[in-house]
Structure 1
């Protein structure tokens, strides 16, 4: 159990996720230093001090410790290595060694990983942990490695996505027919249509203005982004729909294993697994504290709602896309947990 100091730091750090600027990194790819250490370059999209950053820095610390300094990890926050799609391309070519990715960021390369983003499939963090411990994802992970030359070391994430609306809302019935911002995903569009919403694709950087101007009446995200982007100002009616527990993958390039060799590779794998546990704990704590504090803002209402009717409508959509992606057995195993 982490002490109060770490809990407080994790929460404050999560609020710092406002910095999402993108730029290209010039110092990419692992290299040897004059002390003969192998330096790995690892990136993420968020600001310094956020749970992503804390987790990746813990990975760096563990790698250096377990390899007695023979391998070091240089962490590049704030999208210094590009957005997640660009960073993933860097993993494939070996110009980036490691990074943190959302399933949607690599769906173009391996669609079945989007199984982890299906609304209401994963009920809570305990269910998430059961999935990670069960081996259900092994075949998907191996498929990603075989097709892309990258590997999932462990999983970060753990925030829970909620909905927020411009007009008053106290139940799921209240939001039926409202224009709702979605990411560009056929599966997500169909899911939100089944909930009775009217999905509209809006770029993330245009969302605040879209809410303020009435282009859309609602959207969904994690508490850290509702807070840091001040979405609660334009859409102060927050419903705790808890429709997605986030999975964020810590991934590494197969070309990096070639550089590390047989002796160092298992040590870096071990560091990745331990960093994942640490990062999930940090993010879970931060998310809970932020959700609890959102209602402190003037004019903001936070309402827990019964979403069982929505969840019941998701199952045919899960089955449709799981069959389309070739992961029907994995879906069945998750449902049986």
Structure 2
């Protein structure tokens, strides 16, 4: 008993001292909640950005530039994780993944939106845009604004339109030079009614499997050819399974930068502003550099491949345009007169 009594007095003395100097569990909890480091953790935002092309393409480079600038400008509080080459979702399931919130951002080819929003077919009209300047005016002007607004009442928010380049045609046989050369050939295309209508008009058949399966289907000769930009043809090595390349510039391949709307609405206004400003800068960058990137790969193809490369003559191009004129009549009823009038205005302004 004599030993227990001093110990008990010591414990009670310690408790009394703590109460006397203001030991307060409530104040301690409040201090932890206000800790700067803890606030930083709570404010962290992760944006998973999925796309299906290679890192060294215009879209791949633009996505990386966007990610780096956003992280730099938010001091790392917003992290943009890039999943390229279809490593997270392919081009046939990424849109649904975005709607469901399983990924926050994607940048699909504009053609991929046509099955959900028919007006977007206007960008797939063959020979609609005679030059890079015409594409820029279409994307930044009335056409681009109208199409992005078309997404307003959906789970998807359209942020911007990115650039890649004009589409060319490859085949495993002789080059496609005249409309009759399409006859009974089988091509991989993107799932757009306007593109499909063009090939139907030229009496060719089509398949619309995912982009990352194109090489395999060329390898086993399931398809005779495909259409794509030079950067995609080179970086995906599609030229290795083809013998001819026709530089036709018959259509333009661009991208819609999309974000999940609920995710966007939950971001702070400061983060939203950083994303908007960075996207504007990135869009301007890819507009200028996409031309250089495609030209660089064109030179590499000419030097380092067994492709026979052909340029359409003015006479051949005119024959194509006359052959595919029914496509315009078919698409016009689906996209509306206002958008078609803008296409006709741009064609008249930029055609030489």
1:109 maps to 116
Is 1:156 aligned with 2:162? yes
What's the offset of the Cα at 1:249? 1.3
Whether contact under 8 Å (1:120, 1:314) holds in the other structure is: no
1:48 maps to 55
Is 1:252 aligned with 2:259? yes
1:144 maps to 151
1 CA distance for matches of 2:85 and 2:188?
Answer: 23
SS in 1 for 2:46: strand
Aligned in 2, Cα 1:207/1:275: closer, same or farther, shift over 3 Å?
Answer: closer
Q: TM-score, normalised by structure 1?
A: 0.79
Alignment of structure 1 residues 1-337 onto 2, 5 Å: 34=41, 36-146=43-153, 148-169=154-175, 171-172=177-178, 175-183=181-189, 184-194=191-201, 196-201=202-207, 203=209, 207-208=214-215, 211=218, 216-297=223-304, 299-306=306-313, 307-324=317-334, 326-337=335-346
SS in 1 for 2:107: strand
Q: TM-score, normalised by structure 2?
A: 0.76
Which runs of 5 or more residues in structure 1 are unaligned? 1-31
SS in 2 for 1:101: coil
SS in 1 for 2:43: coil
Aligned in 2, Cα 1:80/1:297: closer, same or farther, shift over 3 Å?
Answer: closer
Whether contact under 8 Å (1:250, 1:272) holds in the other structure is: no
2 CA distance for matches of 1:319 and 1:302?
Answer: 32
1:16 maps to none
1 CA distance for matches of 2:73 and 2:303?
Answer: 43
Whether contact under 8 Å (1:52, 1:156) holds in the other structure is: yes
Aligned in 2, Cα 1:44/1:200: closer, same or farther, shift over 3 Å?
Answer: closer
SS in 2 for 1:260: coil
Q: Deviating runs (4+, > 6 A) in structure 1?
A: none
What's the offset of the Cα at 1:243? 0.9
Aligned in 2, Cα 1:243/1:266: closer, same or farther, shift over 3 Å?
Answer: same
1 CA distance for matches of 2:331 and 2:254?
Answer: 18
| CA deviations over 1:242-283 (Å, ceiling 9, x no partner) | 111211111112112222133332221121121122233333
What's the offset of the Cα at 1:167? 2.6
Which runs of 5 or more residues in structure 2 are unaligned? 1-38, 347-352
Aligned in 2, Cα 1:329/1:232: closer, same or farther, shift over 3 Å?
Answer: same
What's the offset of the Cα at 1:207? 4.9
What's the offset of the Cα at 1:213? 6.1
1 CA distance for matches of 2:302 and 2:246?
Answer: 11
SS in 1 for 2:159: strand
| CA deviations over 1:143-195 (Å, ceiling 9, x no partner) | 2121x22122222232221112233337326725241314354432321233x
SS in 1 for 2:48: strand
**Structure index of larger Rg:** 2
What's the offset of the Cα at 1:210? 5.4
1 CA distance for matches of 2:203 and 2:239?
Answer: 19
1 CA distance for matches of 2:47 and 2:168?
Answer: 35
1 CA distance for matches of 2:199 and 2:309?
Answer: 21
